[in-house]
Each structure stands twice: as C-alpha cells, then as structure tokens.
C-alpha cells in the first residue's frame, strides 16, 4: 500500500503534494493506532506475553514511521538514494560514537530472546530495583517502590548480574526464633507445623525448615524458613507467621 502511494505521489505538484503529505500523516497514524488496538486485543485473547506484545507493537510503529519518512522525502522531491549514501559515510565516521546504542540494541534482542526478564517481574540490577514496565530495544523501564520510573540501558543488564525476585513462584520467609532451654524443641516443631498448614499462602507440598544457628544465654537460636506464593506480600506473611510463633512461645 505504501509503495503504491509512493508511485502515485512522484508526479504530484503544488498543493497536491501538501494534500498527499496530509494523507500520508493521517494514514500513518491510523496504521499505528489500528495495529496497537489489534495487538492489545490479541494479547488478551491469545494470552501473549506482554514483553513480546510490546516488541511487536514497537517494531510495527518503527516500520511505519520509517516508511512514512521515505515516502515524504520522495514526495517533496528529495533523492533518498543520495541521503542513504551520505548516511553511510557519516555512519562510518561516527561509528564509535554510536557503539553504545548498537550495544543496547543487540543486548535488548538477547534479553527478549532469552526471556529472563519479562514485563511485570521484580528485578534488581546495579543497585536499582523495581518492577519491569517495558522491555524495549534500547532500554528496560523499571517502576521502583517509590513510584519512580527508571530506564536502564539493556547493555547494563547484559554485562551485570541481576536478581529476578519473581521469576519463580517460591519465595522464602525467614524468622529468627530464640527458644528457651526449658522448651521442648521437638514439641515446638510439631506445634509450628500445625500452624504452618493452616495458611493458604503457604506453598503446598512444602515443609518448614528449622536451622539451629547458635546458643545464646537465654536459649537456642533457630531460623524458621517457610515458602510463600507471593513475593509482594512476603513481609505481611512474615509478620503473621511471627505472631503465631510468638503465641506458641508465650504458652506456659
């Protein structure tokens, strides 16, 4: 369709070119909006990952914009062949200046292909943590707990180790417990296990873990580890579990 539009516009003159340019702009905007609508509906209907959905949307948008620019230049009588040659010469001279952009672009492709970072996941990289809002060709956008958007170059993700807190469904909760020496550890473990099974946020088929880490003046220090199903609520769950353990410890 764009090729036919370009062919028709090559012989236009005067106000006809202005009309053609206006039609080109409207057509380009419509194509972008329609493609975004179709992709949005398809993402919900076919359960497409948001990361892939954004990639397809951005790719179509860039193709439409570049095609529109080429047609615009041809319409106003500019030879794009000469421009491409000039860009090639300039590109060689400024190649070193653009190496970071190229590195980010290539890193973005690998991130999207590996699927190690997806939209909606909570990650931390280079002392910055947040929930992934968008994975683009050049940058990955995070939303921090302070509601601040941060754009991280994709090359940073590819060159530095990063932590993905929500990639897996299992999230460990650790609670420090000081058990008095007069308290029966075996009995306490049974009581905690009974409480442990009552919570629906505890992952099924998982047992609490008890690790003895030291002996204090007033008792034995152990760490109770439980596995929860929601990373965002892990602190809330920790308070709930700690309160139940406190009730057990206060029993005479």
- Per-residue pLDDT tens, the chain, 252 aa: give them: 554 554 545 555 667 778 888 888 999 999 999 999 998 888 888 777 777 777 788 888 888 888 888 888 888 877 766 665 555 545 544 454 456 777 777 787 777 777 778 888 999 998 899 999 988 878 899 999 899 999 999 888 888 888 988 887 788 899 999 999 888 888 888 888 888 878 888 887 678 888 989 999 889 999 999 888 888 888 899 999 899 888 888 875
Supply the pLDDT for residue 56.
82
Supply the pLDDT for residue 209.
87
Residues contacting residue 17 through CB under 8 Å, at least 6 positions apart: 9, 75, 76
* CA atoms of 143 and 150, how far apart (whole Å): 6
Q: How many CB atoms lie within 10 A of CB 1?
A: 8
3-class DSSP string for the chain:
CHHHHHHHHCCCCCHHHHHHHHHHHHHHHHHHHHHHHHHHHHHHHCCCCHHHHHHHHHHHHHHHHHHHHHHHHHHCCCCHHHHHHHHHHHHHHCCCCCHHHHHHHHHHHHHHHHCCCCCCCEEEECCEEEEEEEECCCEEEEECCCCCEEEEEHHHHHHCCEEECCCCCCEEEEEEEEEECCCCHHHHHHHHHHHHCCCCCECCCCCCEEEEEEECCCEEEEEEEEEECCHHHHHHHHHHHHHHHHHHHHCC
Angle at 28 between CA 79 and CA 9, to 5 degrees: 40
Q: Is the dihedral of CA 70, 74, 78, 83 positive or negative?
A: positive
* CA atoms of 24 and 127, how far apart (whole Å): 46
Is-contact 184 202, C-beta < 8 A?
Answer: no
Supply the pLDDT for residue 148.
93
Per residue in 73-99, pLDDT tens? 888 877 766 665 555 545 544 454 456
**Whether the predicted model's global pTM rises above the 0.85 cut:** no
């Amino acid at each position: 369709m764009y090729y036919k539009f370009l062919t028709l516009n090559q012989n236009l003159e005067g106000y006809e070119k202005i009309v053609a340019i206006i039609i080109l702009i409207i057509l380009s905007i419509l194509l972008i909006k329609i493609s975004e609508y179709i992709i949005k509906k398809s993402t919900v209907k076919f359960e497409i990952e948001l990361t892939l959905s954004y990639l397809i949307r951005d790719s179509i948008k860039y193709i439409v914009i570049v095609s529109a620019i080429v047609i615009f230049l041809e319409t106003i009588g500019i030879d794009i062949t000469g421009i491409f040659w000039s860009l090639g010469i300039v590109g060689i001279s400024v190649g070193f200046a653009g190496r970071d952009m190229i590195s980010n672009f290539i890193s973005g492709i690998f991130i999207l292909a590996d699927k190690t970072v997806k939209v909606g996941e909570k990650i931390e990289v280079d002392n910055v943590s947040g929930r992934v809002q968008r994975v683009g060709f050049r940058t990955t956008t995070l939303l921090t707990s302070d509601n601040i958007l941060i754009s991280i170059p994709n090359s940073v993700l590819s060159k530095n180790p990063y932590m993905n807190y929500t990639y897996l469904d299992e999230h460990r909760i650790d609670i420090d417990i000081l058990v008095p020496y007069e308290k029966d550890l075996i009995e306490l473990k049974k009581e905690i296990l009974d409480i442990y099974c009552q919570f629906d946020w505890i992952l099924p088929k998982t047992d609490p873990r008890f690790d003895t880490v030291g002996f204090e003046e007033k008792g034995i220090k152990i760490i109770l580890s439980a596995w929860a199903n929601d990373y965002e609520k892990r602190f809330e769950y920790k308070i709930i579990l700690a309160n139940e353990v406190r009730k057990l410890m206060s029993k005479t």
